[in-house]
Amino acid sequence: MSRTTEPSSSQPFVSLVGAGPGTPDLLTLRGLQALQRADVILYDALLEPDFAALFREEALALPVGKRCGGGTPQEHIHELLLTHAKPGVHVVRLKGGDPLLYGRGGEEAQLLEAFGIPFEIIPGVSALQGVASASGIPLTHRGVSRELRVLEGHHLLDDTVDWEELARFKGTLALFMATRSVQGIARRMLAHGANPSHPVALVERAFCEGQVTTISTLALAAEGHLCCRTEGPGLVLMGAVIHERTRPFASHFSVTHIHDPATALHRSERSPRAAGGRGERRAG
Ligand SMILES: C[S@@+](CC[C@H](N)C(=O)[O-])C[C@H]1O[C@@H](n2cnc3c(N)ncnc32)[C@H](O)[C@@H]1O
């Protein structure tokens, strides 16, 4: 589908653009085209510096990111959007991952709508897909997991959660913003009957310099062994799909740290039935 709205000299225009998980070459072509037209770019400070090479030299580029609650408050980002969105000006709000997944893109869209400012939303590769491809851990796998549940770990321990149901969940759990709370979450799940050997993976800096994947278990995570090895960001995956990790083709795909060797078998080391997909396997 082609674009239906274009910036005009009488109106401002804002593009909310998903930058992908880290590296500029995972930006979509449409996102790149918006960047190359932009007069003003408000970009997440978490993004790798390489993105700056894609900005027009004449563009005004302002870092506005947040990390762990610090950085530019969302209200200030809103003010900047309204200040710069003037007639004839194309503003790009470049956001990590996808704008509408834990990205507050929905709030920014509501703001623009409330002020009658024309805008578009350009999707990005979320960290969810990024960590899966970077680590080779599938999010779903035939015969193993047909369900994916995405959660936010930062407030999970304070939220009203049906922990028994979560502990019984047979699909894949993806936990954003959970590197600091993973120990508490693992403890809570074990207390509600989860299997201590349930596989857990922490993928840090997917598609960024210094990418690291650690494979562990719920029991070890509950004891505090699943810790960040980088400054982050990191995403936690839980589920039997971790056993289905695909054989890495390049060294940067490798799992770098393994707490439980049983969870880290290469495909060729398991039975061909399990790897070949003809035999159904149950989630453990
Ligand atoms: C505020 S959320 C933004 C998510 C983003 N909108 C998306 O779609 O990926 C930030 C969280 O995304 C995850 N994340 C972002 N980039 C990542 C990366 N390159 N590797 C691993 N996790 C990442 C981390 O859990 C981090 O705390």
For 59-78, the pLDDT digits (tens) are 999 999 765 445 778 999 99
Q: Between these two residues, 110 and 277, which has the higher pLDDT value?
A: 110
Checking phi first, is residue 68 left (phi over 0); if not, alpha (psi -120 to 50) or beta? left
State pLDDT tens for residues 237-246. Answer: 999 999 988 7
Lowest mean pLDDT among 21-25, 231-235, 253-257: 253-257
13-125 belongs to which homologous superfamily?
Tetrapyrrole methylase, N-terminal domain (3.40.1010.10)
What are the domain boundaries of the chain? 13-125, 128-276
Cα 7 to ligand 1 centroid, rounded to whole Å: 30
At 48 the pLDDT is 73
Residue of 102, 107, 137, 150 to mutate, ligand 1, most atoms within 8 A of C-beta: 102
Give the predicted TM-score (pTM) of the model.
0.88
User: Residues near 66 by Cβ (< 8 Å), separated by ≥ 6?
Assistant: 44, 45, 72, 73, 74
Distance from chain centroid for Cα 12: 30
Catalytic site positions: 44, 66
* Pocket around ligand 1 at a 6 A CB cut-off: 21-22, 96-98, 101-103, 126-127, 130-131, 176-177, 203-208, 233-235
Rounded mean pLDDT of the chain? Answer: 86
d(CA 79, ligand 1 centre) in Å = 24
Handedness of CA 259, 246, 20, 106 (dihedral sign): negative
CA 136 to chain centre: 15
Dist. CA 23–CA 206, nearest whole Å: 9
- The CATH architecture of the domain made up of 128-276 is 2-Layer Sandwich (3.30)
- Average of pLDDT values for 54-58? 95
How much is the pLDDT for 70? Answer: 58
Distance (Å, whole) CA 53 – CA 255: 30
